[in-house]
Amino acid sequence: MLLQEAPAETFSFMAFGFIVILGTMGLYLLSLINRYRNLEQDMELLDELSAKVEPSVEST
Amino acid sequence: MIEVRGLVKAFGVKPVLRGLDFQVAEGEFVAVVGPNGAGKTTLLRILTSMARPTMGEVRIAGLQLPRQSGAARKILGVVSHQPLLYGDLTADQNLRFFGRMYGVSNLDDRISEVLSIVRMSARRYDLVRDYSRGMQQRLAIGRGILHRPELLLFDEPHTGLDPDAADMLDDLLIRVADEGRTVVMTSHDLTRAGELASRVDILSGGKIARSIKRGELDRGELNQLYYEVTRG
Amino acid sequence: MEAAPRNLKILTGITIGLFVLALYMVFIYAPREAVMGDVQRVFYFHVASGWVGAVAFLVTAIAGGVYLAKRDRKWDRVAVASVEIGVVFTFINIASGSIWARPIWNTWWTWDPRLVTATIMLLLYVAYLMLRQGIDDPDRRARFGSVYGIVAFVSVPITFVSIRIFRTIHPVIIGSGDPAAEGAFDMTPRMLQAFMFSLLTFTFIYATLLWYRIRLGRLSEEVEERKMEMMSV
Amino acid sequence: MAEGVGAVSRVGPRGAVGGYLRAVGAIVWKDIAAELRSRELLGSMLVFALLVILIFNFALELDLRTRQTVTSGVLWVTFAFAGTLGLNRSMAIEKDRGCLDGLLLAPVDRSAIFFGKVLSNLLFMIIVETIILPLYSLLYNVNLFHPGLIAVILLGSIGYVVVGTLLSAMAVQARTRDILLPILLFPVVLPVLVAAVRATTGVLQGLPLEDYQAWLNLLIAYDVIFLGVAIVSFDYVVEE
């Protein structure tokens, strides 16, 4: 194979390689965004809860 | 003997001690009381240099913690609610081991002496594993006083003891304190603390909220004050 | 949490620009390799990922050391953030290397020192993440993480040396022990430029991701803090 | 020892060294005394080691030819597996009744505690090895008696135990302590195992020293480097 004059036909392997490289990077990016969203939702929920809790504490 | 100023300790983001001030003079027997989670154990762990303060100054016999903790550990005797003893060793072997770690001189004599103080001489060569909780705790006190410390720290010593064993422990505590040592004890048992200690400090909100000398208040007043401070 | 600071936005913009350019250089600017063909194009990002992995773990070890000295939690956030990114890119490095090896050495896997070291490095830092997962107290987690991050980083070069000696003494069964021997190629100037540019781009990607991941860590701690407050109320 | 005892309150250089060695010795003595009583640690290590060798026997079909080449590998895998059992147990004993706190309260340098634990772990490891080696030799009729082997086993065990003691001190303080140690330890000690296996093979095949000198050097380098790393970092592992 290595003795051939013309370059080896390895386009499919290249495609596969880049799917893995870019795919993994993309997945990680998605996971970062996802985790960030979840935390922001938690934060909003906490804001709501503390808004509810505080007046009731003062009234008692 | 102990000087603590502005002590802050936070576990992660959760502050347990918030700017606590605490002084103990030589020869005093101070009980630190407070509800569970008030930070009693945390305070003691910082005094024993097992935990490092987040902020604030801690001095024991003039030695600054945690920087000079090595020297401070020499004059400290600690009895925790865990026995800190090896189950697979006998009382004699346990004391021998800790005696060597502290560099106690005339170790054989000292072990006999300590065992008779804590009334464990008869069980000297029995495995700690087979002891009752009360016996383990007595031996733990023996381990605490083995190297003749100037300052004794007791962390909830009555935990898990039946009333008889607890009374026996009280006798022992009084005897140990009468030898002129400074004692700091944490407890959630206000009555016992009030009877034993020359001063009761109430720990609440991460600070010493009140400090009551013996004879200042009777038992009922002390109880009422405690509930006011910790609940209110 | 407040929106990304301006510097981070600028950095993100630069990184995206560089990445687009890098893709252009890898696929169009750099010539097709004369022997291996298109698959050689994997090489640029393959090496760059390995580089990011190594840099990330170095940063973890340094941040761990600084944490132990200063006890400022922000250094621990840097350390975890860096490990996570390092693990992702080391995985990319190994997977892409394996794909490259298939047509060139006729096998998905060879026991080449670099490949094996990269794999053990991946296992080390997966262990690092598992260690952290098993500890609830954040201060202890940070301390143990710092210690293990340093221990792991020190062990990597020794592992590499040990496998290298192992390979030279042992007969090589499949392919070549050293990819420089077979599957090696002369880089044309354009290839070299694409290669250097990929390294630069991936370094920027690392820095950008690190920044975002540190912010994520901080936000997560804030949420924890708030939850604690809620529970104590 | 006697001078060390007297010099406790006024720690001069001699007293300090005496106190340090006395503390290390006390920990080793304590571990031996406890082990003589319970025999849990050595017992489990030995039984486990035998089981591993038996499993290898059926997994690899250790016929005469195979034995020549895989003996060192089988031995070291056995030691490594049995070793994690011992390391875990040895640290769990300290953690169980809060004994580690008791150790840390003593006025001795933390590295003395580390050395004490390393020495007793090393001792247990070597006891297991000295029982397993002749047994293996007997079972498979392979001659394992070679002076060079002692050096290799010692160097390999030191590196393994130094890193193992440090990491087991972390593992026992984690929630997942039963499963964590091998996962933390094996990727870090891989060079020790590789080098020890190759050097053992060299010794057993009677090769000249030059042929496996590189492995011995690697083992020495590993031992020295990680002894340094472990001494510095042990403080951070045991403090709270």
The β-bridge relationship of strands B207-213 and B63-65 is unpaired
pLDDT at C233: 57
pLDDT at D2: 37
Shared domain for B154 and B65, answered yes or no, is yes
| Interval C64-91: pLDDT, tens | 999 999 988 999 999 999 999 999 999 9
Share of chain D above pLDDT 70, in %: 93
Shared domain for B36 and B55, answered yes or no, is yes
**Nearest Cβ partner for B11 among C139, C221, C232:** C139
Shared domain for B40 and B123, answered yes or no, is no
Beta bridge partners of B14: B11
- Give the lowest-confidence range in B13-17, B89-93, B134-138, C157-161: B13-17
How many angstroms separate the CA of residue C72 from the nearest CA in chain D?
Answer: 14
Q: How many CA atoms lie within 13 A of D217 on its CB side?
A: 9
Which residues of chain B make contact with C220, given a CB cutoff of 8 A?
Answer: none
Cβ-defined contact of B80 to D98 (cutoff 8 Å): yes
Range of the domain at B144: 84-149
Residue B187 near residue B33, CB atoms below 8 Å: yes
Domain end: B149, B169, B189, which one? B149
What's the pTM value of the predicted model, to 2 decimals? 0.89
pLDDT at A54: 60
pLDDT at D100: 87
Q: Do chains A and C touch (3 or more CB pairs under 8 A)?
A: yes
Which residues of chain D make contact with B105, given a CB cutoff of 8 A?
Answer: 5-6, 8
User: What is the ipTM for the molecules in this complex?
Assistant: 0.88
Distance from C-alpha of B206 to C-alpha of C97, rounded to nearest angstrom: 56
D98: burial class by Cβ within 10 Å (0-12, 13-18, 19+)? middle
Residues 6+ apart with CB under 8 A from B120: B91, B135, B138, B139, B142
Question: Which of D190, D200, D231, D239 to mutate against chain C (most C CBs within 10 Å)?
Answer: D190
**Nearest Cβ partner for C219 among A7, A16, A39:** A39
Task: Count up the domains in chain B and report the number.
Answer: 2
Shared domain for B140 and B196, answered yes or no, is no
Cβ-defined contact of B45 to D240 (cutoff 8 Å): yes
Shared domain for B9 and B124, answered yes or no, is no
CATH number at residue B224: 3.40.50.300
What pLDDT band is residue C175 in, cutting at 50, 70 and 90? very low
> Subunits touching C (CB < 8 Å, at least 3 pairs)?
A, B, D
**Would you tell me the crossing angle of helices C138-169 and D177-204 to the nearest 10 degrees?**
20
Which residues of chain A make contact with C34, given a CB cutoff of 8 A?
Answer: 7
Which residues of chain C make contact with D188, given a CB cutoff of 8 A?
Answer: 124, 151-152, 155
Residues 6+ apart with CB under 8 A from B62: none
Cβ-defined contact of B71 to D101 (cutoff 8 Å): no
B80 to chain D: nearest residue by CA?
Answer: D98
- ∠ at Cα D4 (D2, D9), nearest 5°? 125
CB burial of D207-227 (b: ≥16 within 10 Å; e: otherwise) equals eeeebbebbbebbeebbebbb
Share of chain C above pLDDT 90, in %: 62
Beta bridge partners of B58: B4, B65
Shared domain for B110 and B62, answered yes or no, is no
What pLDDT band is residue D171 in, cutting at 50, 70 and 90? very high
Does the CB of B80 have a partner CB in chain D at under 8 Å? yes
How many angstroms separate the CA of residue C22 from the nearest CA in chain D?
Answer: 35
pLDDT at C176: 44
Interface of B with C (CB under 8 A): 11-14
Give chain A's mean pLDDT. Answer: 82
Shared domain for B96 and B161, answered yes or no, is no
Cβ-defined contact of C223 to A42 (cutoff 8 Å): yes
Count of CB contacts below 8 A, A vs C? 103
Domain end: B149, B174, B196, which one? B149
Task: Give which of B97, C67, C40 is closest to D106, Cα–Cα.
Answer: B97
B205 to chain C: nearest residue by CA?
Answer: C232
Does the CB of B103 have a partner CB in chain D at under 8 Å? yes
Q: Is C134's pLDDT higher than 80?
A: yes
Domain end: B149, B173, B197, which one? B149
What pLDDT band is residue C26 in, cutting at 50, 70 and 90? very high
Q: Which residue has the higher pLDDT, D201 or C226?
A: D201
Which one of B38-47, B125-134, C120-129, D14-23 scores highest in mean pLDDT? C120-129
Shared domain for B32 and B131, answered yes or no, is no
Shared domain for B24 and B88, answered yes or no, is no
Does the CB of A3 have a partner CB in chain C at under 8 Å? no
The residue extents of the domains of chain D are: 39-238
Which one of B139-153, C71-85, C111-125 scores highest in mean pLDDT? C71-85
Q: Is C181's pLDDT higher than 60?
A: no
- ∠ at Cα D25 (D24, D26), nearest 5°? 90
Length of chain A: 60
> Subunits touching D (CB < 8 Å, at least 3 pairs)?
B, C
Cβ-defined contact of A28 to C209 (cutoff 8 Å): yes
How many angstroms separate the CA of residue D159 from the nearest CA in chain B?
Answer: 26
Shared domain for B134 and B217, answered yes or no, is no
Does the CB of D115 have a partner CB in chain C at under 8 Å? no
The β-bridge relationship of strands B14-24 and B2-11 is antiparallel
- ∠ at Cα C46 (C45, C52), nearest 5°? 80
**Would you tell me the crossing angle of helices C42-70 and C113-133 to the nearest 10 degrees?**
40
Shared domain for B71 and B115, answered yes or no, is no
| Interval D79-91: pLDDT, tens | 999 999 999 999 9
Q: Is D120's pLDDT higher than 90?
A: yes
Q: Is D185's pLDDT higher than 80?
A: yes
Does the CB of D195 have a partner CB in chain C at under 8 Å? yes
